[in-house]
Structure 1
Amino acid sequence: TIMSIFEENNIRVTTPTSIQIPLSFSVGDIAFYSQSDLEATKELLTQLINESGGKRVLMWEEGNTLNFGYLKVVDNVTELHYVSIEVGR
């Protein structure tokens, strides 16, 4: 499953009640409808985990989309870098 990818990498997933970051950057999106989509989804999430360089990833939902991201400070400005995974259907 999607969450097991984070568990395998010892990443803690937290779900904030809201996210209000002035700068947000989508760094990837994918659809996960069946097991055949698992490998590509795993690659995208592993890339996000490696880029985050931390032990925590944020998760929030928008409709049938799960978003996973991390916060990064660049020139004293907080940025949100995230990927979107469309699920279900």
Structure 2
Amino acid sequence: MGDEAKLEAEKPVVLVTGSSGLIGSKIVEALASDYAVLGMDRKKPVHTPPGTELLECDLTDRASVQQSVSAMRGRAGGKLASVEASCSGGGVPHR
């Protein structure tokens, strides 16, 4: 779906960061049937499941993050759950 697409209003919206990676793409696939999935990653994947949308965002760039957060608000409104799809830290929980 393109950046202009609206997420399905009747489904809860879930944000998945790292959505184009190995783990993130599997999370997106698993959630797509029950949730409107909004993925966030540095690069768009070749394929996105139906009911999903991807925002390109570089988390090291403040302007990129601000643009993505603004787009998320426009698409998801005030209710949003999030999942971080990351294997950084060797499986050690973030502190």
Class of the TM-score when normalised by the shorter of the 2 chains? 0.3 to 0.5
Q: TM-score scaled to structure 1, two decimals? A: 0.38
Which of 1 and 2 has higher RCO (CA within 8 Å, sep 6+)? 1
